[in-house]
Structure 1
């Protein structure tokens, strides 16, 4: 039971006990008897009076606490609604919405809460693909913690609309993917860009071994197609970099040739 509910229940219980004691006192007066000043009846009378006093003290406090609790919930709901409205206006204000946005963190101690807020903002404005990257691989090693924070921020910032903004955790080593969702999230580390190039080269070598390609066929377009098939994401349109280092520090080196970096 919540704190407000438990306090209100105790106040109601005390009120009922006080009313019962007062009823006994009234019956005693109607019968021409005064309340006892000694013995068990006196103890019952004093307990009823004490319960009435406790009720008088607890009931207003419980009501005020419950009112403050409801007011805080209304303020949170109002803040979430304002946030959704502000994010929608952000999306409308953008002349061109990026299909794939990269979020690159060069700080030594990245913030899970800040990154989750950025991901939820991307989801709310309608960005289809989001890549999260830090050069130490902290987010990738702790991807479940990041996902928990994203789900928490979804509920707090999007409120009842959070079901409309389901996120897909699209890492290749993640088996339980969510399909048919609005935004797909990939958490990357420095090894991912190199691994994609190696896998694309292996696929091309297999095609050559199967005589479907020759080594002279390899060019930029062929490698682009091979990388797209292994990566599953389009090239980033926009990369937002956070931190003091003026470098992307190995973020998808092949895929950001034409990417705007801010």
Structure 2
């Protein structure tokens, strides 16, 4: 009888201690996320931004940045940050490759999140639909955004094959096919690719676009900071591009 009461008391104390620990851990995690989210809502201060601009003047920045989400669930706040940071660092094109198609299915929610954060004088051009528009006489910052899925890569090849088979001059040369695929892609080939995950995996990214792309792996985009983003640009700038040599 004594041993049963002892084990019951021990279990009760252990359960209470674990419950308190779990509550404190959850509270601290929530506070940490709120602090990080608050910091993500804004670009660096003017003084810090000037230092960053001076640093950017000394490094090579990509024209087109592509982000491979891998198995990571899209977090719109972090992806919006990347778009805003690309504008701040003079990157003209950014694409997001989600092989699972989640981001494309929820594109309106993604655009809404960006609209809440984007300045009116900045212009974001979405290329996920054929009705992408430009503002006439626009003089502010501008960036092109595209969402890519695994199906987009497959459909590009299928559609190109069908179109070539219907034309009178059926030029199936490698150069002609490559040029046609580039036109369908709309964007210039990516200079830098950020791959999310512990291991390197392209997840069937359209191979004809990445012949000269420099890929860097990052563990996660979750709560990524502006300084971490700059670190990736510095890493890219230090890479030696041989361009097939």
TM-score, structure 2 as length reference: 0.61
Distance 1:105 1:84 in 2: 27
Q: CA contact under 8 A between 2:125 and 2:132: conserved in structure 1?
A: no
2:53 to 80, 85, 88: 88
Which residue is 1:184 aligned to? 144
- Judged with a 3 Å threshold, the aligned counterparts in structure 2 of structure 1 residues 220 and 138 are, in CA distance, closer, same or farther, namely same
TM-score, structure 1 as length reference: 0.58
1:107 aligns with 2:67: no
Which residue is 2:194 aligned to? 240
Quick check: which has more Rg, 1 or 2? 1
Equivalent residues in 2 for 1:1-262, closer than 5 Å: 79=44, 81=46, 84-85=49-50, 88-89=53-54, 91-95=56-60, 97-155=61-119, 163=121, 165-173=122-130, 175-179=131-135, 182-207=142-167, 210=168, 213-214=169-170, 217-262=171-216
Q: Looking at both structures, which has the greater relative contact order when contacts are Cα pairs under 8 Å and sequence separation is at least 6?
A: 2
CA deviation digits over 1:89-137, x for unaligned, max 9? 4532422x22211011113322111111111111221112111112211
Report the number of matched residues: 172
**What secondary structure does 2:207 align onto?**
coil
CA deviation digits over 1:155-210, x for unaligned, max 9? 4xxxxxx51x311011135x253346621100111111111122222222222xx2
Q: Which residues of structure 1 form unaligned runs of 5+?
A: 1-75, 156-161
Structure with more of its chain in helix, by fraction: 1
- Judged with a 3 Å threshold, the aligned counterparts in structure 2 of structure 1 residues 224 and 138 are, in CA distance, closer, same or farther, namely same
